[in-house]
A = this chain, B = another copy of it.
Amino acid sequence: MIKAGIIGATGYAGAELVRILTGHKEVKICWLGSRSYIDKKYASVYQNMFQLVEGTCLDDNIGELAGQADVIFTATPQGYLASVLKEEYLTQTKFIDLSADYRLKQLDVYERWYQIEHKSPQFLEEAVYGLCELNREQVKQARLVANPGCYTTCSILTAYPLVKEGLIDPDTLIVDAKSGTSGAGRGAKVNNLFCEVNENIKAYGVTTHRHTPEIEEQLGYAAGRPVTINFTPHLVPMNRGILVTAYASLLPKPDGTLPTEEEIRAAYETYFKNETFIRLLEPGVCPETKWVEGSNYVDVNVKTDARTGRVIMMGALDNLVKGAAGQAVQNMNLMFGLPETEGLRLVPLFP
């Protein structure tokens, strides 16, 4: 059995890790870290786990935990892992970080967008960006995985084949994203109260959201050159789910005509047809967040528009599963040589 420790186990992403790992045959949770609830029974903080999780919340002693655990998940605020990580720990255990600390390769980009000093930039190069479908082989060898952001996972997977194949002009890419409220975390803030979110929709972080450079970096690798995009997140009155609607101008083929929808679908098939967790929907079916709720799937589809010469790309995932804890477990499976889907054969819940 793999012994897993979780730092930040009482946030929504941490709790989703607990939910998924509770159903994972090869894992035993050995540490439920939560600074806010030290010595409280975990199941009293998340009553859904009553009689399912017996443990008590512990403080964040990463040194001690590194000696006990085979893998440590950090579902912590930006800057936490960067401030405590040492080479010594990396020799003892594996790390899967759900924060942004090691997602961006360029230190200055991180510090500019996050407005935090990075305390351990020496690990940036080693860290593997844990988008399993793109970096599977590197993840298998990794000691330190940077688990991608929720918006980022959805945005990248939705646009990747077209950028990679050069079918769109990446500088025309506009990503309009919509997220359920669990993405905002369990902190007690007026903005996230039921009465403020319910019956309401708004954009936020317009032009400044921190997932922007993460999308740009990864799509830049696909394009083979820097990419600059617009990314606008919105808050939707639902608990879970991210929907991405992305727009880009199609690039003409050598014969001067634009790619057809069939040619575009073929690009998705090329990259995703063997991927368990990416479902290219039938032509004309628009992804809905409800169809992936509680599961590790990303549903994607495309529609071309001959009138404007653009393609509309759509993707949907559960922000707490494929957008956070599920992908973290998928990374863990790869790192420990387990079947990639172990513990993740979660059937979407509808309605």
Interface residues of A (CB under 8 A from B): 12, 15, 19, 22-23, 44, 46-52, 171, 174, 176, 178, 180-182, 186, 188-190, 192-204, 206-207, 228-230, 232, 234, 236-241, 243, 245, 247, 279, 281-282, 285-295, 299, 303-305, 307-308, 310, 312, 314, 316, 345, 347-351
Task: Beyond the given A49-B348, A200-B289, please list 13 additional residue pairs across the A-B interface where CB-CB is below 8 A.
Answer: A19-B350, A50-B299, A52-B347, A174-B247, A176-B245, A193-B194, A198-B237, A199-B351, A202-B316, A203-B314, A206-B303, A207-B312, A247-B247
Q: Is the CB of B194 within 8 A of A290?
A: no
Asked, given contacts A50-B291, A52-B347, A286-B204, whether A181 binds B199 with beta carbons under 8 Å apart, the answer is: no
Give Cα A202–Cα B23 distance, bound, in whole angstroms.
27
Asked, given contacts A176-B245, A195-B182, A308-B230, whether A201 binds B288 with beta carbons under 8 Å apart, the answer is: yes
18 pairs of residues in contact across A and B, judged by CB atoms under 8 Å: A19-B349, A47-B281, A48-B291, A48-B350, A174-B310, A181-B193, A181-B195, A186-B193, A188-B188, A198-B237, A199-B289, A200-B288, A201-B236, A201-B241, A206-B314, A230-B247, A234-B243, A234-B245
Shortest Cβ distance from A43 into B: residue: B282
Give Cα A48–Cα B317 distance, bound, in whole angstroms.
11
Copies in the complex: 4
Give Cα A49–Cα B19 distance, bound, in whole angstroms.
21
Contact check: which of B12, B207, B288 meets A47 at CB < 8 Å? Answer: B288
Give Cα A22–Cα B149 distance, bound, in whole angstroms.
30
Q: Which 4 A-B pairs have the closest CB atoms?
A: A195-B351, A200-B290, A48-B348, A202-B288
Q: Is the CB of B239 within 8 A of A351?
A: yes
Q: Is the CB of B281 within 8 A of A50?
A: yes
Contact check: which of B197, B289, B348 meets A201 at CB < 8 Å? Answer: B289
User: What is the distance, in angstroms, from A185's C-beta to the closest C-beta of chain B?
Assistant: 9
User: What is the distance, in angstroms, from A202's C-beta to the closest C-beta of chain B?
Assistant: 4
> For residue A349, which residues in chain B have a CB less than 8 angstroms away from its CB?
19, 48, 293-294, 349
Contact check: which of B180, B193, B234, B243 meets A192 at CB < 8 Å? Answer: B193
Q: Which of A285, A293, A308: most chain B Cβ within 10 A?
A: A308
Q: Is the CB of A47 within 8 A of B199?
A: no
